[in-house]
A and B are shown apart, each in its own frame.
Chain A
């Protein structure tokens, strides 16, 4: 079971010389790209913080294979010419590995360039199912270490199907751009394919960004659905929650926010008790997720270093991406005895699996996309920290398409 080997075990981190091959003496050059400004900074800022912290930790332990330091540079994704920036990083500055991208438009723009330049690239957060379904159908140098939106949308549909039998009417509020459309579309198709006995009474798409949700909320109040699926995030989600709280929308409607736990950090006073939140996978700092020492170390280190809690899933995605890279290099070295070149690295990434603070992550053989389980819980305001209670996991196979199918094909044939 080489595919499930866990290079996190201490002996592989400590003793780097068992293969005997030469480990490059110059530091590994890594570029990390994420939004540290603009609306998506709600994910990007904690992501960059986590990445910086992880690189420092790895370097304190001697670096990759205990010998090679990582030299990491941060790049703001909030630029108007992402292809130019990417090309500069790949060809002029010659980074060994480029890790990044939150925006799906950006990931879709750079992935073909990565293939064309044979540049090892890890997409660490983008959700779009188009990445490997249509933009790059036969990826070699591009990997995604997070699951696609399929986890969120299909996960929410299964949650509804399995766990909420009382729900009869369903509505949607999603942002009027690709991510929101993609999420709602997958959710609706999944419900249909599952044959869940609910009626969809309204589906609203709001401009992105949007500061005034009052009439959208009035419309939802009028149809009074039992359940709302929403992939809103950032300032939009805060605005929606603030205005919905004021207008009593959640009094008799249960909303489910698929990527919303970052508001626990950004706007804690606006989070009511008892709404369903999902952190785009099992990425949550407290409660049932406090399951092993990796998790505890990560949260404690983050909190003591930044004085903040990693509520946003971005921080966790950074962990998976960075360690995924380091482990894949170490794994290749430990197996072959040679420090991997790009092609050997690709081989090592394919089929890798390892423990992370948010559970076991793996990239199934034959795919370049990590799979994650879905994770949901009710917001819990009773404790010292905002948390999630009555949490549920949904297994990876239930929310991610198998390797040989696109997301759409898979959903339509449940």
Chain B
């Protein structure tokens, strides 16, 4: 049983990345009715910007600060600056290239944003090159501990805790705050909401920025544990859709459960039945769509 502990933690970390990525896609589609295939590129962009900033900070002030102070600097970069920067980029894109797509059918949004993700991928390649980029400094600073005879790093645990806090906050936001309730109402019927005099465009932008910032944060938390290369966005696109389809459109609860489900299936799957690890997500996605077409927690009819 104790043997399973590392895999359990692996699953939770994987689920965290998927949650931060998938939730954004799910709320933007579910509540704003915008099908953005390019959403996963914000995760990649977040990871790239994190890498550059961490590198830059280490070079600029690495020698002058102690480990603890440096770690705080890294946290500020990863949790504040990166989501901030990517939100600004995302907002710029929203104003220019996403806005013309809002009136289109889902199918056409899917195709147009397929074009956008190709452009974003190549732009990132232009800036950061085609070679893998890493920056494991924040994770190395935290180190690891002994777990059933082997070292286990603190970073994934830290990332899981952060994600749990974010998930709770989001939950509170959508259930308890006025903006959250308006958003949920907009998902049901945007016209009715706009008649009551609420500025739906401003709500729209807020929800969109939350989604983008979450993806960027996902990239920032992902990076210290792995590397980033061109093509990563396309890998994550499928996973983001899996979260959306399995959890159900626009459902926060669904996104949480779907992320956990995929995280567990992938981690335990690649441990016990590595032959299937590639197929697992697709089988799960197809199975859920057959049994419950609206996803596990979705009630919005597609």
Q: Which residues of A contact B (CB under 8 A)?
A: 35-39, 41-42, 45, 176, 204-207, 209, 211-212, 214-216, 218-219, 221-222, 234-235, 238-239, 242-243, 245-249, 251, 265-267, 269-270
Nearest A residue to B9, CB-CB: A214
- B270 interface residue, CB < 8 Å from A? yes
Q: How far is the CA of A360 from the CA of B58 in the complex (A)?
A: 43
Nearest A residue to B147, CB-CB: A247
Quick check: A270 and B134 within 8 Å, CB to CB?
A: yes
Quick check: A239 and B7 within 8 Å, CB to CB?
A: no
CB distance from A272 to the nearest CB of B (A): 12
Quick check: B227 and A235 within 8 Å, CB to CB?
A: yes
- B131 interface residue, CB < 8 Å from A? yes
Instruction: Give every chain A residue within 8 A of B153 (Cβ-Cβ).
Output: 246-247
Q: Would you give the 0/1 interface string for B152-181, flagging 1 where the beta carbon is closer than 8 Å to chain A?
A: 110110000000000000000000000000
Quick check: B132 and A247 within 8 Å, CB to CB?
A: no
Instruction: Give every chain A residue within 8 A of B200 (Cβ-Cβ).
Output: none
Task: Jot down 27 A-B pairs with beta carbons below 8 A, ordered by A.
Answer: A36-B130, A42-B132, A206-B277, A207-B277, A207-B278, A209-B229, A211-B235, A214-B156, A215-B7, A215-B10, A215-B266, A216-B270, A219-B271, A221-B150, A235-B229, A238-B134, A239-B226, A242-B134, A242-B225, A243-B225, A246-B144, A247-B6, A247-B150, A249-B150, A265-B131, A266-B227, A267-B134
Quick check: A45 and B130 within 8 Å, CB to CB?
A: yes
Quick check: B226 and A212 within 8 Å, CB to CB?
A: yes
* A-facing residues in B237-272 (Cβ within 8 Å): 266-271
- B151 interface residue, CB < 8 Å from A? yes
CB distance from B188 to the nearest CB of A (A): 37
Nearest A residue to B125, CB-CB: A37
Instruction: Give every chain B residue within 8 A of A215 (Cβ-Cβ).
Output: 7, 10, 266-271
Nearest A residue to B132, CB-CB: A235
Quick check: B3 and A222 within 8 Å, CB to CB?
A: yes
Q: How far is the CA of A180 from the CA of B216 in the complex (A)?
A: 33
- B19 interface residue, CB < 8 Å from A? no
- B14 interface residue, CB < 8 Å from A? yes
Q: How far is the CA of A222 from the CA of B231 in the complex (A)?
A: 32
Quick check: A242 and B229 within 8 Å, CB to CB?
A: no
- B221 interface residue, CB < 8 Å from A? no
Instruction: Give every chain A residue within 8 A of B268 (Cβ-Cβ).
Output: 215
Quick check: B267 and A214 within 8 Å, CB to CB?
A: yes
Nearest A residue to B151, CB-CB: A248
- B13 interface residue, CB < 8 Å from A? yes
Q: How far is the CA of A34 from the CA of B125 in the complex (A)?
A: 16
Q: How far is the CA of A315 from the CA of B247 in the complex (A)?
A: 47
* A-facing residues in B1-55 (Cβ within 8 Å): 3, 6-7, 10, 13-14
**Interface residue tally for chain B (C-beta within 8 Å):** 43
Q: How far is the CA of A45 from the CA of B132 in the complex (A)?
A: 12
Instruction: Give every chain A residue within 8 A of B235 (Cβ-Cβ).
Output: 209, 211
When A and B form their complex, which 3 residue pairs have the shortest distance between CB atoms, in order from nearest?
A248-B151, A41-B130, A246-B153
Q: Which of B3, B7, B229, B267 has the most CB of A within 10 A?
A: B229
Instruction: Give every chain B residue within 8 A of A37 (Cβ-Cβ).
Output: 125, 130, 230
Q: How far is the CA of A245 from the CA of B137 in the complex (A)?
A: 12
Quick check: B131 and A247 within 8 Å, CB to CB?
A: no
Quick check: A248 and B144 within 8 Å, CB to CB?
A: yes
- B113 interface residue, CB < 8 Å from A? no
Quick check: A239 and B274 within 8 Å, CB to CB?
A: no
Instruction: Give every chain B residue within 8 A of A248 (Cβ-Cβ).
Output: 144, 150-151
- Given the known interface contacts A247-B152, A267-B134, the answer about A218 and B271 at a Cβ–Cβ threshold of 8 Å is yes
Q: Which of B131, B155, B266 has the most CB of A within 10 A?
A: B131
* A-facing residues in B69-127 (Cβ within 8 Å): 125
Nearest B residue to A35, CB-CB: B130
Q: Which of A206, A215, A248, A270 has the most CB of B within 10 A?
A: A215
Nearest A residue to B232, CB-CB: A211
Nearest B residue to A251, CB-CB: B151
Instruction: Give every chain B residue within 8 A of A265 (Cβ-Cβ).
Output: 131
Instruction: Give every chain B residue within 8 A of A39 (Cβ-Cβ).
Output: 229-231
CB distance from A169 to the nearest CB of B (A): 16
Instruction: Give every chain A residue within 8 A of B10 (Cβ-Cβ).
Output: 212, 214-215, 218
Q: 9 other contacts beyond A45-B130, A218-B6, A235-B229, with CB at 8 A cut-off? A: A37-B230, A39-B231, A42-B130, A206-B274, A211-B235, A215-B268, A238-B132, A239-B227, A247-B150
Q: How far is the CA of A270 from the CA of B232 in the complex (A)?
A: 20
- B214 interface residue, CB < 8 Å from A? no
- Given the known interface contacts A214-B10, A221-B150, the answer about A38 and B230 at a Cβ–Cβ threshold of 8 Å is yes
Q: Which of A204, A209, A246 has the most CB of B within 10 A?
A: A246
Residue from B155, B266, B274 in contact with A212 in the complex, judged by beta carbons closer than 8 Å: B266
Q: How far is the CA of A23 from the CA of B129 in the complex (A)?
A: 41
- Given the known interface contacts A212-B10, A246-B151, the answer about A234 and B229 at a Cβ–Cβ threshold of 8 Å is yes
* A-facing residues in B211-231 (Cβ within 8 Å): 222, 225-231
Q: How far is the CA of A11 from the CA of B156 in the complex (A)?
A: 62
Instruction: Give every chain B residue within 8 A of A266 (Cβ-Cβ).
Output: 131-132, 134, 227
Q: How far is the CA of A205 from the CA of B271 in the complex (A)?
A: 11
- Given the known interface contacts A38-B230, A246-B139, A267-B227, the answer about A206 and B270 at a Cβ–Cβ threshold of 8 Å is yes
Q: Which of B137, B231, B232, B269 has the most CB of A within 10 A?
A: B231
CB distance from A103 to the nearest CB of B (A): 14
